[in-house]
Amino acid sequence: MTFRGGRRAITGIVALAVLVTGALVWALWPAPAPPPGRDVTIPVLDGPAGDQRVTLDATFFAPPGLGSGGGRAPAVLLAHGFGGSKQSVRDQAERLAARGYAVLTWSARGFGRSTGQIALNSPDYEVKDVRQLVDWLARRPEVLLDRAGDPRVGIAGGSYGGSVALMAAAYDSRIDAIVPQITWYDLADALFPDAAGAGPANGVFKKMWAGLFFSSAADRLAPEGGLGAAGVAGVAAAAGGGTPAGAAPPPTPDQVRCGRFLPAICDMYQTVAATGRATPEAIDLLRRSSPVSVQGRIAIPTLLIQGRRDSLFPLSHADANARVIAATGAPVEVAWYAGGHDGGDPESDWVFDRTVGWFDQWLRHSARGGTPTKSSPDGAAFTVTRDGGRDPGTRRPVLLHATAGRYPGLGGTDRTTVDVAGSPQPVANPPGGSPAAISSVPGFGGLLGGAGGSVSPALDIPGQAAAFESAPLAGAVQVTGSPSITIRVRGTGDTTLFGKLYDVSGGALPMLPSNLVAPFRVTATEAGTPVTVTLPAIDWRFDAGHRLRVVFSTTDLGYATPAAPAVHTVELASPRLTLPRDPALTAPSTGPVWWTWALPLAGLLAAAVLLLTGRAPRGAGRTDEHLADVPLVITGLGKRYRDGEKAVDDLSIRVERGQVLGLLGPNGAGKTTTLRMLMGLIHPDEGEIRIFGTRVLPGAAVLSRLGSFVEGPGFLPHLSGRANLELYWRATGRPAADARLEEALEIAGLGAALDRAVRTYSQGMRQRLAIAQAMLGLPDLLVLDEPANGLDPPQIAEMRRVLRAYAEGGRTVIVSSHLLGEVEQTCSHVVVMHRGRLVSAGPVGELLTATAPANGSGTRLEDVFLDLIGEGR
């Protein structure tokens, strides 16, 4: 992204000024310090008879200003995922508390430092625990009450935590709203799915996910996971012939086998894992810990957030929960986002904002008498995250949120059909089920790569898969929901098949949307057994000219398949592939994000403010005359992320004319955050930045003396380099003569390539063009974030020449880098950062020798940097 503030006021942008100023205020508002949490131990009684004593390790976060005469606030119970603890959700808890909620996090029984054994959110155990946590909240002076003993409370959590939110809502009428995320409706169906509709008793065992699910807690023999003292002692005893003095005894065989699971659950898993089939007892046990067992009893406002990339708890589980809760008349919204248990984009901030918005809607008391807001939810009832291409400035994927006024279910609001064709095909189940086809790798979602985290190539084994394909599509088809198709399976005996729907385009690998498959068992006959297969729910656009390919494979890496070899024949019972749609889903346009066009007009907006109000923003235009000739002075600079972590901490530096300053540090050191504050893109929480004596604020006119690019260049590929630069300069509203285009181009050294289309440029040429764009107008201060990224050694050498040439004559260059060698060879001065703090500063030549007089540390630059890298930070 390139940036340059304007100099003139243009009255025609008054309306734009209002819009962008509002966006800037939102984006630049300083984040408050996170509220401190107070650790508490909460004793509970649970078990079928209510006589088992368990202590839950919890942390309570009171919102600022409450508990000391400041009133009361609604409460949120924040639950963690399987294998986690209360520490897993601490950041979200702090952010919720900062938004005015009293928040209680806890480690569920069997996890973290809590006692007890894992019961999979059983009504007799974890659900009883949550009811007693609600009792505890009702006694807190910070928590708003609807009546004595009844706090205004919601529950949020993901996966295991999402399940307990649903189950607790069914058993405790005091809970007012819930936000379950990526969780289950029927745990038996999740572990034994059946796309043919016969149910878990005939389902295909999801062996890899089940193994991860159970083994992730099987080693929890000590608080906070791991083998702990007992496990270490056991290893030591095995190696040395005894238990060390003072050490805990080694774990028993049952502890090694079951970890912290209840014995009944451990025995159930051992049985089904050995046979690959669900027993009636296993189905009953798993369903008792599932919302399917409490249909009609969850009747409160529910926001269901489910991942599109999730082979553990796919979209069908959120759909089932939505249908049964909506049937009670309770408000329900459904959101499908870009992540899930298989990876993808977690959209953490978006999920957090949706969660807070839901609780604001249903937990906040109104201005009149403190009664709950119980009106119908505003906005969309259905939201789907979609790929919006790439941002033109950062070249990173853009996620768009398509919305509709009602949730249509997996059948869509209408359907279309596409015919597929193919002859009957024999498919073989290999002995032992190996080698197996690959759709996803449970627990390692990013292992196969993928496009924007939403899809990866999949692998089918020749001879094990039957494929049926459509003709090229005449027009694009957007699918939202579960496609279906009817086939016949010929042969004898039971077989297991996995249905998949691929997107096939010429010359590219077929793509399996969200890497999901539909497993099912079928008893084949010589006449052919018809099966209607419901394929996985997806949200996917099949473009014009692409083909749809339906594949039925005998194996899949994540599932248990028959060990005995067999051959069956798969054929189409009908050529029609039914595709659900929801045309009501609409997404915003895919243009550049707001700051790519708004921030280059910051100077113009400041001028518009002057015209409208007759005065500048507070602090703008005030120049310290003693620093009027100093390019940059940073004093006591600090910035926190929304989660409270300090990105920049008490940073102070001074940069003089003619210097090429290297801002050096490992990734995550705070370099880019510092540069963003320097450019006025984000606002510091503490300290100040002065450019030529003038404090940096959004719209400050002094920003016209600064040129920069961050996150990499972005150009219109069909235009020439020269046309891109001219177009950019015109967008600033400044006179063409002020661009000093030829001088900037001479420094960048692009030569004749300037008049070629940018799509023909090498990476190095694009980087030099980006620097030329930042140099337009020959600003006195040039700021570049990682300009050597993606360049080979000759290109880097050329980059050094460009930067040194620019600094000649009294201008100043600041270069951010994580490469020590690059800073040593490019820069005259260096500032080393680590975890947001200044580590060392001074001339490169002096810091490369034995001393560092700039900070008196007496440490060489190489030693400082290598120490940081060596610490693994």
Is 273 contained in some domain?
no
Q: Which of 579, 606, 633 is the last residue of a domain?
A: 579
**If you average pLDDT over residues 425-430, what whole number do you get?**
96
Q: Specify whether 570 is located in the same domain as 708.
A: no
Using pLDDT thresholds of 50, 70 and 90, give the confidence band for residue 840.
confident
* Average pLDDT value over all residues in the chain: 80
Contacts for 630 with CB less than 8 Å, ≥ 6 apart: 654, 655, 656, 657, 690, 692, 693
- Residue 371 placed within a domain: yes
Give the range among 1-5, 247-251, 842-846 with minimum mean pLDDT: 1-5
Compare 140 and 858 and report the one with higher pLDDT: 140
421 and 393 both lie in a single domain = no
Largest CA distance in the chain: 94
| pLDDT at 232 exceeding the cut of 60 | no
CATH code of the domain covering residue 855: 3.40.50.300
Query: Are the C-beta atoms of 645 and 94 separated by less than 8 Å?
Result: no
Mean pLDDT of 336-361: 90
**Where residue 379 sits, what CATH number does that domain have?**
3.40.50.1820
- Position 375 scores a pLDDT of 33
Please compute the mean of the pLDDT values over residues 214-242 and round it to a whole number.
Answer: 37
Whether residue 158 sits in one domain with residue 49: yes
Q: What is the pLDDT of residue 504?
A: 93
pLDDT at 480: 97
How far apart are the C-alpha atoms of 697 and 28, rounded to whole Å?
Answer: 10
What are the tens digits of pLDDT across the range 618-663? 444 466 778 888 999 999 999 987 667 788 999 999 999 889 998 8
Could you tell me if 772 and 821 lie in one domain? yes
What is the pLDDT, as a whole number, of residue 255?
61
Selection from 593-597, 647-651, 755-759, 790-794 with the highest mean pLDDT: 647-651
Among 404, 432, 447, the domain-final residue is 404
CATH of the domain at 525: 2.60.120.260
Domain residues for the domain of 551 are 414-579
Tokens of 578: 């039914």
State the Cα–Cα distance between residues 404 and 402, nearest whole angstrom. 7
CA atoms of 868 and 873, how far apart (whole Å): 6
**Cα 656 to Cα 636: distance, rounded to the nearest angstrom:** 18
Rounded (5°) CA angle 69-70-73: 125
pLDDT at 240 over 80: no
Q: What is the pLDDT of residue 635?
A: 92
Does 823 score more than 50 pLDDT?
yes
Highest-scoring range by mean pLDDT, 208-217, 259-268, 409-418: 409-418
Does 367 share its domain with 444? no
pLDDT of residue 677: 87
The CA-atom distances, in angstroms, between 521 and each of 114, 203, 317, 565, 809 are 41, 7, 20, 15, 77
Using the predicted structure, report yes or no on whether residue 746 has a pLDDT greater than 70.
yes
pLDDT of 760 above 50: yes
pLDDT of residue 641: 76
Instruction: Compute the average pLDDT of residues 357-364.
Output: 92
Task: Assess if residue 236 is contained within a domain.
Answer: no
Tell whether the model's pLDDT for residue 593 goes beyond 80.
no
Whether residues 443 and 355 fall in one domain: no
Q: What mean pLDDT do residues 352-377 have?
A: 65
Q: Classify residue 458: in a domain, yes or no.
A: yes
> pLDDT: is 772 or 744 the higher one?
772
- Domain presence at residue 555: yes
* The predicted structure's pLDDT at residue 864: 56
Question: What's the CA gap between 347 and 340, in Å, rounded?
Answer: 10
Give Cα 754 distance to the centre of its chain: 39
- What is the enclosing helix (H) or strand (E) of 633? strand 632-640
CA distances from 369 to 364, 366, 441 (A): 12, 7, 53
Q: Is the per-residue pLDDT at 16 higher than 60? A: no
Examine residue 837 and state whether it is found in any structural domain, yes or no: yes
- Residue that is last in its domain, among 374, 404, 434: 404
Residue 233 in domain:
no
44 pLDDT band, cuts 50/70/90, is very high
- Answer yes or no: do 556 and 654 share one domain: no
Regarding whether 489 and 450 lie in a shared domain, the answer is yes
Name the more confident of 58 and 11: 58
> Given pLDDT bands bounded at 50, 70 and 90, which one contains residue 749?
confident
Please say if the pLDDT value at position 394 is more than 60: no
CA–CA dist 295, 293 (Å, integer): 6
Mean pLDDT for 121-135 is 98
Does 485 have pLDDT greater than 80? yes
Same domain, 494 and 573: yes
444 pLDDT band, cuts 50/70/90, is low
pLDDT greater than 50 at residue 808: yes
pLDDT at 611: 37
Which has more confidence, 666 or 571?
Answer: 571
Q: Give residue for tokens 């003089």.
A: 656
Does 205 reside within a domain? Answer: no
Quote the CA–CA distance of 200 and 186 in Å, as a whole number. 9
Higher-confidence residue of 773 and 114: namely 114
Lowest-confidence range among 133-147, 375-389, 503-517, 688-702? 375-389
Least confident residue range of 79-93, 116-130, 177-191, 814-828: 814-828
Q: What is the pLDDT of residues 278-313, one digit of tens each?
A: 999 999 999 999 999 999 999 999 999 999 999 999
pLDDT of residue 430: 95
Mean per-residue pLDDT, 195-209: 94
CA distances 843 to 627, 698, 817, Å, are 21, 31, 16
Number of C-beta neighbours around residue 857 at 10 A: 17
- Give the span between the Cα atoms of 131 and 167, in whole angstroms: 11
pLDDT score recorded for residue 592:
40
Backbone region of residue 342 per phi and psi (left: phi > 0; alpha: psi in -120 to 50; beta: other values)? alpha
| 564 and 598 part of one domain | no
Instruction: Quote the pLDDT of residue 795.
Output: 65
203, 246, 382 from 235: Cα distances, Å? 39, 15, 52
Q: Is the pLDDT of residue 113 over 70?
A: yes
Estimate to the nearest angstrom the gap between the alpha carbon of 813 and the chain centroid. 34
Q: How confident is the model at residue 245 (pLDDT cuts 50, 70, 90)?
A: very low
Amino acid letter at 328?
Answer: T
Does 123 share its domain with 161? Answer: yes
Residues 162 and 124 in one domain: yes
Range in 428-432, 610-614, 721-725, 782-786 with the lowest mean pLDDT: 610-614
Q: Are strands 153-158 and 175-181 parallel, antiparallel or unpaired?
A: parallel
User: What one-character DSSP code corresponds to residue 440?
Assistant: -
pLDDT at 169 over 80: yes
Q: How confident is the model at residue 818 (pLDDT cuts 50, 70, 90)?
A: confident
Count up the domains in the chain and report the number: 3
pLDDT (tens digit, 9 = 90+) per residue, 46-92? Answer: 999 999 999 999 999 999 866 444 589 999 999 999 989 999 999 99
